[in-house]
Amino acid sequence: MLAIVAVAPVLLPGKVLRLSGAEQLDVVAHCMGATTFLMSLLAGHLRGQVRSAVLFNGGVHFSTVTSRLLKARLRVPSILPYLGINSMEVSGGFSFSWLNRLLDFGCAVNNALFGEVQLRETCTSGVCHRMGFIYGGGWEHRNISAAAHDNLHEIWGSAHMACLRQVTSCLLAGQLVDSKGQGVYMQHPQRLSLPITFITGRNNKVLVPASQQKTYQWLCDANGADGYASYILDGYSHNDIVIGRSVWRDVVPLLLRHLAAQKAPLPIKHA
């Protein structure tokens, strides 16, 4: 995972358009994928290329639980590179180097202090514990199938400290900032004047629902409410809203409703 500032201007939509021959895309994105997508639009990229978007757990405002805010104030992503740790693999628990053992011990302490992985859920997955340390508690375990939980390492890879430093700055600022801590992306809300559906879980501790609501209200105030929608789903947290066992029932209908509302078919370029 690169620094967000490096990723934002060079997202996949342009390449997908070239490969598909379509003139516009409907974008479905989650978490930092959703945030970097918004950064691209707010920076003036992808103009005319995106028809609409469905964003899971993404926005331009950042509010989190007290324990995660405390960790942000400790500036851990700025400290770890001095220990030779420039990135973290969620699957690092499969290696037995002294560094991975140290990190796993730190994850265990983190989860004990901050409850990122709830003890009552009796989770023994080292990958899950690392996810809690790196990103914050990402799901309600009851929502995740055993197969998904056992293969988390195939879904999430490494997290680079440069990216996490910028995420930390966003958490402390309460809104999207660049790598220098400046709110340059917040100056042009009109660039997000397109249909956007926001979806998050009510139990989200990574970015609490207030984050999404602030972004939704910010856009409604700037551009009018037409085309914007915000859903907060009971019983869901963060990543389980994408990989949960009942997403087909609780989440997919909202996605299909959004796409059905985009009445005109996507135009296709013919060679």
Asked if residue 203 has pLDDT above 70, the reply is yes
For residue 2, how many C-alpha atoms fall within 13 Å in the half-sphere facing its CB?
9
pLDDT at 263: 73
What element of type H or E holds 199?
strand 196-201
Tokens 């501790």: give the residue.
205
List pLDDT tens digits, range 215-232. Answer: 999 999 999 999 999 999
CB contact at 8 A, 163 and 1 = yes
List pLDDT tens digits, range 125-154. Answer: 777 777 777 777 678 888 988 888 888 888
pLDDT at 94: 45
- Work out the percent of the chain whose per-residue pLDDT is above 70: 80
- pTM exceeds 0.75 for this model: yes
Average pLDDT over residues 104-108: 69
Domains in the chain: boundaries: 66-165
Give, as one character, the DSSP assignment of residue 268: B
DSSP-derived pairing of the beta strands 158-160 and 87-89:
antiparallel
